[in-house]
């Protein structure tokens, strides 16, 4: 048996592996780590005070509090209990898939959801229900839309300053009210990826960026529409992923360069296939990692670009994915891929306005240690195989956002486990 402690309250938990080390959370939680892979030690659900079991994003702020974005609001965990914020407290919308803390300690909230929202009843203004085409096949026949899609409810981005919430929309200068990513540069400017390009916020006003093509002409709107991710490189330049390609911005020279997905080297990467880039991350070695959403059953959801050549990681038993939505590099240099889905043909191909011929299933979370991939799912204690994102707190503990609550645990890489076995 091992014990979980919450500010003096101890609960007995079964231990499924030999206890190797004991270590403590900053918020007073006591954990036991075992000997193999991912070890899940605690799961938080709505019964514990979460706004919803359907968790989308997780963030730790500078004070050590954990913010958890769900489909029904944002919950703040202080080590003892949860406080929930919804539209009643001033959130722009309850469904929150994007959390960001700026340099002043203010927390920003947005939907951060890719895909479309389909109304099950015509004329009904539903709550946010993100539903990519790959999810559509799961609906009963009488609930499928008749080729009509409704855009994600566009309600802007909310900011919490410790006292209250304030919401910003297009009326304040945002390019669009759907925010998919936020980044702050070293000058304090906020860059917001939206459905209609990139907005930059200086603390007082928003400015929508205008890009220039290689011959001085403005880049066509279709090349700069839904911007899905922002990533800075080691030189301070910015990379933007959109539904049509990748744009590079030299911050110091105000120079833009657009990479068409149909041109080399991105054609070699497979980015010209059906699908789009969902996340961008530069690892500690300077490699650019791209996750993709695709409905191709032959395509992998991961690409790596080293500045010269590109690698598409093939599907395998350890990498069972077509689509990936989120990438996180932990403090040991391991890369975690979540929002992982495997697509399967489920419907006969027919001519319809949605072109829907696939369904998908969650396959857990995958981690890459620089040499090999490992995949973890409910067999390792995850509450669900649908893992939306992974977050690592300041003490190295991993928080997994799933559609069945938040799982908290630790990870020993395969290399570490091999070394331990050799030293026994």
Task: Give residue-wise pLDDT tens across range 345-363.
Answer: 333 333 333 333 333 346 7
Cα distances from 226 to residues 103, 205, 250, 381, 422, in angstroms, run 26, 21, 20, 36, 50
Q: How far is residue 366's CA from residue 187's CA, in Å, rounded to a whole number?
A: 35
**What are the backbone dihedrals phi and psi of residue 2, each rounded to the nearest 5 degrees, phi first?**
-130, 170
Can you list the domains of the chain with their CATH numbers?
A: 55-404 (2.130.10.10)
Task: Give residue-wise pLDDT tens across range 353-412.
Answer: 333 333 334 678 889 888 888 889 898 899 998 899 999 999 999 999 999 999 999 998
Task: Give residue-wise pLDDT tens across range 153-207.
Answer: 558 999 999 889 999 999 999 988 989 999 999 999 999 998 888 899 999 999 9
What SS3 state is found at 418?
A: helix
Check whether the bond before 265 is cis (ω within 30° of 0).
yes
| Residue 235 and residue 288 in contact, taking contact as beta carbons nearer than 8 Å | no
| Residue 173 and residue 104 in contact, taking contact as beta carbons nearer than 8 Å | no
Structure tokens at 149: 């899609």
- Burial letters for 284-293: b for 16+ Cβ neighbours within 10 Å, e otherwise? eeeebbbbbb
Which of 31, 54, 42, 183 is CA-nearest to residue 108?
183
* Residue 348: how many other CB atoms lie within 10 Å: 6
The pTM score is: 0.75
In degrees to the nearest 10, what's the CA dihedral of 143, 148, 149, 153?
A: -90
| Residue 229 and residue 277 in contact, taking contact as beta carbons nearer than 8 Å | yes
Which of 378, 368, 162, 409 is CA-nearest to residue 285?
368
| Residue 116 and residue 132 in contact, taking contact as beta carbons nearer than 8 Å | yes
Cα distances from 77 to residues 7, 64, 235, 275, in angstroms, run 13, 9, 36, 36
């Amino acid at each position: 048996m091992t014990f979980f402690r919450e500010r003096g309250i101890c609960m007995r938990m079964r231990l499924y592996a030999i206890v190797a080390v004991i270590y403590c959370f900053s918020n007073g939680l006591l954990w036991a780590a075992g000997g193999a892979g991912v070890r899940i030690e605690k799961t938080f659900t709505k019964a514990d005070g979460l706004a919803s079991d359907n968790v989308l994003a997780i963030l730790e702020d500078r004070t050590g509090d954990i913010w958890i974005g769900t489909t029904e609001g944002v919950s703040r965990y202080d080590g003892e209990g949860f406080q929930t914020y919804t539209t009643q407290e001033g959130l722009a919308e309850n469904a929150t898939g994007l959390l960001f803390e700026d340099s002043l300690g203010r927390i920003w909230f947005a939907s951060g959801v890719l895909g479309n929202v389909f109304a099950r009843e015509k004329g009904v203004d539903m709550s946010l229900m993100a539903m990519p085409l790959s999810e559509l096949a799961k609906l009963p026949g009488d609930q499928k839309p008749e080729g009509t899609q409704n855009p994600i409810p566009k309600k802007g981005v909310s900011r919490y300053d410790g006292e209250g919430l304030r919401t910003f929309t297009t009326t304040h200068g945002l390019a669009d009210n759907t925010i998919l990513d936020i980044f702050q540069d070293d000058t304090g400017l906020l860059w917001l990826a939206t459905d209609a390009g990139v907005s930059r916020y200086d603390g007082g006003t928003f400015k929508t960026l205008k890009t220039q093509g290689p011959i001085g002409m403005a880049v066509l709107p279709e090349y700069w529409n839904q911007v899905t991710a922002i990533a800075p490189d080691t030189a301070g330049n910015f990379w933007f992923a959109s539904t049509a390609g990748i744009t590079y911005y030299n911050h110091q020279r105000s120079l833009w360069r657009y990479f068409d997905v149909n041109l080399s080297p991105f054609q070699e990467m497979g980015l010209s296939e059906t699908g789009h880039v969902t996340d961008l991350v530069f690892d500690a070695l300077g490699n650019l990692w791209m996750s993709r959403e695709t409905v191709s059953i032959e395509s992998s959801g991961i690409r790596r670009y080293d500045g010269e050549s590109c690698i598409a990681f093939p599907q395998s038993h350890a990498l069972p994915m077509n689509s990936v939505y989120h990438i996180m590099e932990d403090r040991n240099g391991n890369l975690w891929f979540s929002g992982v889905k495997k697509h399967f043909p489920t419907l006969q191909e027919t001519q319809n306005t949605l072109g829907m011929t696939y369904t998908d299933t969650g396959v857990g979370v995958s981690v890459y240690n620089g040499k090999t991939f490992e995949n973890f799912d409910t067999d390792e204690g995850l509450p669900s195989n649908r893992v939306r994102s992974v977050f690592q707190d300041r003490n190295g503990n991993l928080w997994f956002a799933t559609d069945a609550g938040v799982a908290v645990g630790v990870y020993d890489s395969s290399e570490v486990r091999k070394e331990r076995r050799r030293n026994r």
